[in-house]
Structure 1
Amino acid sequence: MKHYNFLFLMADQIRTATLEGMGDGIQTPNLRRLMDESVLFTRASCTCPLCTPSRASLATGRYPSRCGVPIHDAVLPPEQPTFYQALRDSGYRVGIVGKTDLHKRDTYCGVKGDLPSMYHYGFTDPVETEGKMNSAWYGTNPDGSIYPMGPYQKYLMDKDPELMRTLEKDYRSYMRQKPRYHAQPSVLPDEVFLDTFIGEKSLEWLNEHDNTGAPWHLTVSFAGPHNPWDPPKEDYDAVGDTLWPDPIPNDMEGKPAWIRRRVAQQTGGMTQADLQQVKRCYAGSVRVIDRWIGKLLDWLETSGHKDDTVVIFCADHGELLGDHGLLEKSCMYEGCLRIPLLVHLPGMTQRRDSDALAELMDLAPTCLELAGADWNRREMDAVSLVPVLNGSTEPLRPVQRSELHNCTMLFDGRYKWIRNYNDTDELYDLETDPQELHNVIDEHPKVLDRMRPYSFRH
């Protein structure tokens, strides 16, 4: 039996609307190239709109509350089984180049990105890099000299230690002095941008591990377009002075108190010009990722692997980009809940859209089923997407669920219930109110009764 290879492409904090033609007005020609030969899950969601819980949920096929990672600064418990382990046990080389966030609390990745914990999680050939924010926080020896926390920092240090100090100074200013909506081109030279490093190392991985006698699963985990929004100057200039679409209005009627406080903290004082600058820098960061995806797709074609490789593109969560006066993630509105999810199987030549209630963690059993690997289906909350990929229109699940430490989201395909703990609950009819402007929580008690059994807070 010939096994599929897997090229698993992942971006950090990119929303469904960012795909070309989906609303944000950003050009993504290489993602469009993939999309034109894939199934696009138009209503895919993350199981948590926050990096660490979302990635742990993907790794295990379990909701954050079930895999032991309900918060951001955490470590995936070593006793939790992962789909990477199952692939490895089935004979796969399992690689990662880029951010994993499986041990967020422990920010050290090792100068080669191959800590022993990565092997335990199931990777056979890891090159784990720092994430976007952590790329700036280096270690310091007693004599004041720098020691790198991961391979990207080691790369910068080998080129010039001042590059590392320049990045740290810029990000520290962003975190402590500048408004959250600050955006500007990178202070580093274009050629040493983090996602460029990840792209280059991914191509090196493929060339090194191709034709080794084993099938492979490579996760290319880009660090962008996560803030700080600081694309290479070349990409910032290439995007130009585009007039980006207006965000969803900042109408706080019916919104809980914690959302109102966050709006004031994140975008208080932000002008229209500030928002346009954020979107320009976000688009420039997306442009870098799209370019490297093009190079990776080119590699599949020139190496002869297009016909035996499953290609997946997804994100850990979305990005609000000013919708409702909010930026980034960590709430349950559509911008940060909905993720781009494309799956290309060998032989697909046309795009097909599916409105199935897919969740990011569903990629775990999907990859295992396509790989012919064994796993304990009763241990996962996730369901395989393979039936949908094969043309089935049967529902995947009655409701989608997503979790944060202070709220839960339930979506039945029309109504979206946000249960805000110790605050105002929200219910939106996304069929008539896709922008989530009208909280109708008091108008549909039967909808709540129908969805209540799927919440762990009855």
Structure 2
Amino acid sequence: MAEPRNILFIMFDQLRWDYLSCYGHPHLKTPHIDRLAAMGVRFDRAYIQSPLCGPSRMSTYTGRYVHSHGASWNNVPLKVGELTMGDHLRDLGMGCWLVGKTHMKADAEGMRRLGLEPDSVIGARVSECGFDIFERDDGMRPEGPDGYYDAGGALKYNEYLRVKGYEGENPWHDYANSGIDDAGNVLSGWFLNNSDQPANIREEDSETPYLTRRGMEFIAGATGPWCCHLSYIKPHWPYIVPEPYAAMYGPQDFLPRVATQAEQETDHPVFKGFQNAPVGRAFARDDTRDKVLRAYMGLIKQCDDQIGVLFDWLEKTGRMDDTMIVVTSDHGDFMGDHWMGEKTFFHDASVRVPLIIYDPSEQADATRGTVCDTLVECIDLLPTFVDVAGGDAGRLDHILEGRSLLPLLRGGDAPARDAVFCEYDYSATPLANKLGLHPKLARMFMVFDGRWKMIHFEGGFRPMLFDLDSDPGEVDDLGASDAHADIRTALYDRLFAWACRPGARTTISNAALMAARGKTARKGVLIGIVEEGDLEPELVAKYVGRKARDMRASTIKN
């Protein structure tokens, strides 16, 4: 074992924490991810900063909360001045490369204003969330009447598929993300009713094996030290998977739905609004949920098998010995729990994620195979990487709002968080329109102290509150309970203190501000000094004992 020289940062998309066997799933076995947990530390209470791809990832890539970096929804640009993972690591001599997804939208207007050309080295990095690009693939090439959702989506992957014989304008859709009937009709994976169909593609050509190979290609040619963000696009929808995975799971393998009649009858307009969204109504149907779960579990099993391929190759090539490996997700998936689909709310099904870190350092030997129940946030990853690269994340605490996990990985003490925070801006959604909310009011925040989880809603809606000690399923909303008023007050105090932090002041460090205290007098600024004798002679020397010509009007002679 050696000090980690490189970092392999693996992120899955929309992977629930409780759909891995090392986190307790009784039927979905994930031995390869479990193997990493046995070699490192499994964090049991890791939380994202927003339950949506774009803002969650921007927080992870910047080490900052959402309303600090401002990219609050998908396709909201990350401000041109925000420092990212690549900026921090390159300053420390570590390359930072992307293979896969970021869901990052470039701040084109900011770049134009500053004269940054997108095809320059600096412009390309600003456009790509600070990463140098080996291959960007957001896994999204849907097309509607107004064109493609992402004009650059899956272009290289589509090229690959055509070379392999998959014909057509968009094989990403027609083969990788759709089935086929006996008459040759494409059964689109966008329709949940087709989720139990096998994708019409050879398994080795589907997206997850493809990205695994691309990741290995990058690593094989990389000169270190390097950070490789291998960012998978599954098990995110479209929910469809090729054989043999399409037929692996059935109702006997599914976790029961976590939902109650009382939740369906909620009086909370925002919660009810998310339930009534089309995806919520779809996943409330047992037949739909059953079809999707077959595909979702199959996609996860395929992901784990590909992690096995990757880890075997890393061991065979000796790279396990000097590479820190991180496995996590950008958020979860409700899968019908609480009568919702997708991820845009604050139950643990969505905001709690798997986080496993393997550190090859001998200093980490004492924690191998352990489980850490400390509250951690995904913004903690970038400070950890800074420390691994030889920097000092503590000196960047005016920028990085997370905390390095290195002490927890190496058996040391780290100050425990008293709460974690998550936020969601739903101002661009149809629900905000239905509720008549101005974009400033279509926002909600979560604070969780390890037992009590409170959700605050702007717009005048009452809060929601859950006691996860007695109600781990989060089905009993205590937000209107008089008996819990004091709990809500205490959580509001924590939320207020968090909201008051100086997240926007990033251009001068806290250490520099502390060093500047009381130093203005040494530059001649003397505020509130009555007489020259009130200060040390050194500080007033430039102002006493001086002579000047009298230039008052009454004494000036021609």
Superposition TM-score, scaled by structure 2 size: 0.72
Residue 466 of structure 2 corresponds to which residue in structure 1? 428
1:235 aligns with 2:245: yes
Residue 505 of structure 2 corresponds to which residue in structure 1? none
Residue 45 of structure 1 corresponds to which residue in structure 2? 47
CA distance in 2, matches of 1:381, 1:13: 24
1:129 aligns with 2:129: no
Residue 80 of structure 1 corresponds to which residue in structure 2? 82
* Aligned residue runs from structure 1 range 373-392, under 5 A: 373=391, 376-392=396-412
Q: Is the 8 A contact 1:357 1:395 kept in 2?
A: no
Q: Is the 8 A contact 1:39 1:354 kept in 2?
A: yes
Larger Rg: 2
Amino acid at match of 2:381: L
Identity %: 28
Stretches of structure 1 lacking an aligned partner (at least 5 in a row) = none
Alignment match of 1:364 (pick from 382, 385, 389): 382
Superposition TM-score, scaled by structure 1 size: 0.87
**SS of the residue 1:95 aligns to:** strand
Q: Is the 8 A contact 1:10 1:219 kept in 2?
A: yes
* Aligned residue runs from structure 1 range 159-198, under 5 A: 159-160=164-165, 162-165=167-170, 167-168=172-173, 178=191, 182=195, 184-198=197-211
CA distance in 2, matches of 1:433, 1:148: 42
Task: Between 296-305 and 369-378, report the one with greater CA deviation.
Answer: 369-378
Q: Is the 8 A contact 1:156 1:164 kept in 2?
A: no
1:206 aligns with 2:219: yes
Task: Between 234-243 and 312-321, report the one with greater CA deviation.
Answer: 234-243
CA distance in 1, matches of 2:328, 2:169: 30
Question: What is the Cα deviation at residue 83 of structure 1?
Answer: 2.2
1:398 aligns with 2:418: yes
**How many residue pairs end up in the alignment?**
442
**SS of the residue 2:46 aligns to:** coil
**SS of the residue 1:398 aligns to:** coil
Question: What is the Cα deviation at residue 167 of structure 1?
Answer: 4.2
Alignment match of 2:452 (pick from 386, 405, 415): 415
CA distance in 1, matches of 2:306, 2:40: 18
**SS of the residue 2:354 aligns to:** coil
Alignment match of 2:329 (pick from 315, 318, 337): 315
Query: Does the C-alpha gap of structure 1 residues 21 and 247 become closer, same or farther in structure 2, counting only changes over 3 Å?
Result: farther
Query: Does the C-alpha gap of structure 1 residues 260 and 139 become closer, same or farther in structure 2, counting only changes over 3 Å?
Result: closer
Amino acid at match of 1:380: L
Amino acid at match of 1:299: W
Query: Does the C-alpha gap of structure 1 residues 322 and 357 become closer, same or farther in structure 2, counting only changes over 3 Å?
Result: same
Residue 156 of structure 2 corresponds to which residue in structure 1? 151
Query: Does the C-alpha gap of structure 1 residues 189 and 370 become closer, same or farther in structure 2, counting only changes over 3 Å?
Result: same
Task: Between 187-196 and 338-347, report the one with greater CA deviation.
Answer: 187-196
Alignment match of 2:369 (pick from 351, 375, 380): 351
What whole-Å deviation, never above 9, does each CA across 1:4-35 have from its counterpart, x for those lacking one? 21111110001110121434431111001111
CA distance in 1, matches of 2:95, 2:24: 37
What whole-Å deviation, never above 9, does each CA across 1:152-195 have from its counterpart, x for those lacking one? 2332344456355354466798698x458955432333232112
Amino acid at match of 2:132: T
Amino acid at match of 2:330: D
CA distance in 2, matches of 1:2, 1:35: 19
**SS of the residue 2:209 aligns to:** helix
Query: Does the C-alpha gap of structure 1 residues 97 and 291 become closer, same or farther in structure 2, counting only changes over 3 Å?
Result: same
**SS of the residue 2:302 aligns to:** helix
Residue 67 of structure 2 corresponds to which residue in structure 1? 65
What whole-Å deviation, never above 9, does each CA across 1:260-287 have from its counterpart, x for those lacking one? 2332332436543432221111111111
What whole-Å deviation, never above 9, does each CA across 1:206-235 have from its counterpart, x for those lacking one? 1111xx3x3111111000001111112221
Stretches of structure 2 lacking an aligned partner (at least 5 in a row) = 109-117, 179-185, 426-442, 501-558
What whole-Å deviation, never above 9, does each CA across 1:54-104 have from its counterpart, x for those lacking one? 010011111111102111222222210012211112211211110011228
Q: Is the 8 A contact 1:52 1:69 kept in 2?
A: yes
* Aligned residue runs from structure 1 range 193-342, under 5 A: 193-209=206-222, 212=223, 214-239=224-249, 242-251=252-261, 252=263, 253-254=265-266, 256-264=268-276, 265-268=278-281, 270-342=284-356
**SS of the residue 1:26 aligns to:** coil
**SS of the residue 2:327 aligns to:** strand
**SS of the residue 1:135 aligns to:** coil
**SS of the residue 1:295 aligns to:** helix
CA distance in 2, matches of 1:364, 1:255: 40
Residue 23 of structure 2 corresponds to which residue in structure 1? 22
CA distance in 2, matches of 1:424, 1:392: 41
CA distance in 1, matches of 2:123, 2:173: 24
**SS of the residue 1:438 aligns to:** coil
Amino acid at match of 2:353: I
Query: Does the C-alpha gap of structure 1 residues 118 and 180 become closer, same or farther in structure 2, counting only changes over 3 Å?
Result: farther
CA distance in 1, matches of 2:14, 2:73: 17
Q: Is the 8 A contact 1:136 1:164 kept in 2?
A: no
Q: Is the 8 A contact 1:11 1:221 kept in 2?
A: yes
CA distance in 1, matches of 2:244, 2:8: 27
CA distance in 1, matches of 2:330, 2:403: 17
What whole-Å deviation, never above 9, does each CA across 1:414-456 have from its counterpart, x for those lacking one? 1000112333311101001111111112232222222223325
Q: Is the 8 A contact 2:53 2:74 kept in 1?
A: yes
Greater relative contact order, per chain length (Cα 8 Å cut-off, separation 6+): 1
Task: Between 247-256 and 163-172, report the one with greater CA deviation.
Answer: 163-172
CA distance in 2, matches of 1:129, 1:115: 19
